[in-house]
Amino acid sequence: MGKSKSSRLAYYKRIFLAYLINKKSHLTFWHGKPEINDNVPINAIGEYYMPFLYKAHYQGPFDKEGIPMLDYKGRVSKLTGW
């Protein structure tokens, strides 16, 4: 079962706003300023090379189980997507 025409249009609108005119959107949530994680081991598997500290301090909203949610231009949804 495919997505409705209105869902597809909403998707393309979000892509357009985030990437073509560089407007802040939920998609830009995933694009952060590069930071170096000083705890990264050089010769072993360990922490990720970026700490994403600014994302760790997310202020919400959260659902009743504490899962972060984002406002998709008026549509609040879990980070897991649609």
Number of domains in the chain: 1
Q: Report yes or no on 78 lying in a domain.
A: no
Does residue 36 fall inside a structural domain?
Answer: yes
- pLDDT tens digits in sequence order for the chain, 82 residues long: 567 888 888 888 877 777 777 666 555 666 677 888 898 888 999 888 888 777 777 888 888 888 888 766 667 766 554 4
Residues in a beta bridge with 27: none
Q: 66 and 78 in contact (C-beta within 8 Å)?
A: no
The 10 Å Cβ neighbour count of residue 27 is: 15
pLDDT at 28: 61
Q: What are phi and psi of 42, to 5 degrees?
A: -85, -35
* Structural domain contains residue 69: yes
For 56, the domain range is: 5-73
For residue 82, the model assigns a pLDDT of: 43
In a domain, 82, yes or no: no
Say what the pTM is.
0.38
Which residue intervals of the chain are DSSP H helices? 5-15, 53-56
